[in-house]
Amino acid sequence: MKPVAWITGAGGLVGSYLVRTASRWAPDWDVRGLIRQDVDLTDEMAVRRLWREHQPAAVIHCAAISRPAVCEQDPGLARKVNVEATALLASLSGDRPLLLFSSDQVFDGRQGRYVETDRINPINRYGETKAAAEKLVLSNPRHTVIRLALTAGTSLTKDRSFVEDMRRSAGQGQRLTLFTDEFRSPLPAGVVARAVWELIARKPSGLYHLGGAERLSRMEIGEALATWYPELASRLQPGSVAAYHGPSRPPDLSMRCEKLQSLLSFPLTGFRSWITSRPGGGADPWDYAMPDLNP
């Protein structure tokens, strides 16, 4: 029998890509994607019952309250899901592999081009919960944390990706103000899935960054997407994070990924380069990420 691998948050963007790509890149695993209907990760007794039933040999923990605005509105729920549920899974995993997805939001954005050894200093509640979860997971030397950059793709519910948010807003006739002075290292969800499955095969532990090779502003990201989605082009307008009024936004969360890149069989190319090298259009152009990631 194949060993069981749990993927929590399988209804989300990254979790769904991990499940969809498992047959190709993780054929030796019995992959079981978990959504809330399967188990409420904040219900300890329910989680323990399902653990005893499945006896997972590895856990890839994607589930989280990941929208910063929601974390600001309900910090109690954010801590319960992002920290306490993680603590339970880490405790149950023990010496079995556990991989937690964290976020570039653990940084304050003052520096940019962050590496794994740089000091974290979250400035919003989402980042704070992820920083706390990282500490819990990394206290076990057998466990792994991946800090993930801004991720593009198509989710099962059509509402988990920044690309989907932008297209929906444009379809409603809204203008999209994109900052020219806020920077990220975006990459497609299919790239994330392949990288994670390769990492799992190597039985890793420790802390890794996973993002694209290019440092792009929000405006540059939007312009790149407009080559695939022409309806966006007329809706984009430049703005500045300095004029933004709302929850704190780190201005530069670009990351360097040489540590993880050294373990992968394919290059973590830049987001803009990746888009321009592939045809867009179709029901889900992001599926081009899955059959062949090499340039």
Q: Does residue 242 register a pLDDT over 90?
A: no
**pLDDT computed for residue 293 by the predictor:** 45
Tokens of 179: 């900052």
Residue 171, C-beta contacts closer than 8 angstroms, at least 6 positions apart: 231
Whole-number pLDDT of residue 295: 37
Q: Is the pLDDT of residue 34 over 70?
A: yes
Work out the pLDDT band at 281, boundaries 50, 70, 90. low
Q: Is the pLDDT of residue 251 over 50?
A: yes
Percent of the chain at pLDDT exceeding 70:
95
Q: For 138-189, what is each residue's pLDDT tens digit?
A: 999 999 999 999 999 988 888 889 999 999 999 999 999 999 999 999 999 9
Q: Give just the sign of the alpha carbon dihedral 157, 39, 196, 82.
A: positive
Percent of the chain with pLDDT over 90: 84
Mean pLDDT of 247-264: 95
Among residues 74, 55, 57, 60, the alpha carbon closest in space to that of 21 is found at 60
Q: b/e per residue, 35-73, with b = 16+ CB within 10 A?
A: beeebebeeeeebeebbeeeebebbbbbbbbbebeebee
User: Residue 220's Cα: distance from chain center in Å?
Assistant: 20
State the alpha helices, DSSP H only, in 101-201. Answer: 125-138, 162-171, 189-201
Given a contact cutoff of 8 angstroms between Cβ atoms, the answer to whether 15 and 154 are in contact is no
Looking at residue 206, its amino acid is G
The letter for the amino acid at 118 is D
The confidence score (pLDDT) of residue 294 equals 43
- Split at pLDDT 50, 70, 90, the class of 274 is confident
- pLDDT at residue 181, as a whole number: 97
pLDDT digits (tens, 9 = 90+) for 114-144: 999 999 999 999 999 999 999 999 999 999 9
Catalogue all structural domains in the chain, each as residue range(s) with its CATH number.
Answer: 4-289 (3.40.50.720)
Beta bridge partners of 295: none
SS3 at position 240 = coil
The pLDDT score that the predictor gives to residue 124 is: 95
Confidence of residue 84 (pLDDT cuts 50, 70, 90): very high
- Residue 39 bridge partners (DSSP): none
